[in-house]
């Protein structure tokens, strides 16, 4: 598979792995989300590639409908926001946004 194809598959697989730890297999509970953040989004290498505020913002916005559960749509949006944060850090603020 190509780099991008692998990345897409990885996003789905990470969600399945962590969301599937309790009864609600298709949603991330707060506990599952914390575990995911701790193990998948906390490496020093990654932390140095993106502003802390962007990570914080992406994670604060993740549960859009505030039901204490994160579905795949919300999760993938968060991943996309993190990718944008990484891009911003690398190339500076997007003009006009």
Provide the binding-site residues for Ca ion, judged by CB under 5 A: 19, 22, 24, 27
Is the CB of residue 32 less than 8 Å from the CB of residue 21?
Answer: yes
Using the minimum distance from each CB to Ca ion, give the nearer residue, 33 or 82.
Answer: 33
Cβ 70 to Ca ion shortest distance, Å: 9
Point out which residues pair with 28 in neighbouring strands.
70
- In whole angstroms, the minimum distance from the beta carbon of 65 to Ca ion comes to 16
Residue 16 C-beta: closest distance to Ca ion, Å: 10
**Nearest CA-CA partner of 25 in 85, 71, 82:** 71
């Amino acid at each position: 598979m190509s780099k991008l194809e692998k990345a897409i598959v990885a996003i789905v697989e990470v969600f399945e792995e962590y969301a599937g730890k309790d009864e609600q297999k298709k949603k991330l509970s707060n506990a599952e989300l914390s575990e995911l953040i701790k193990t998948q989004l906390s490496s020093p290498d990654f932390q140095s590639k993106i502003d802390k505020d962007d990570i914080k913002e992406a994670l604060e916005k993740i549960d859009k409908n505030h039901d204490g559960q994160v579905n795949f749509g919300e999760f993938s949006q968060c991943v996309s926001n993190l990718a944008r944060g990484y891009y911003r850090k690398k190339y500076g603020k997007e003009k006009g946004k």
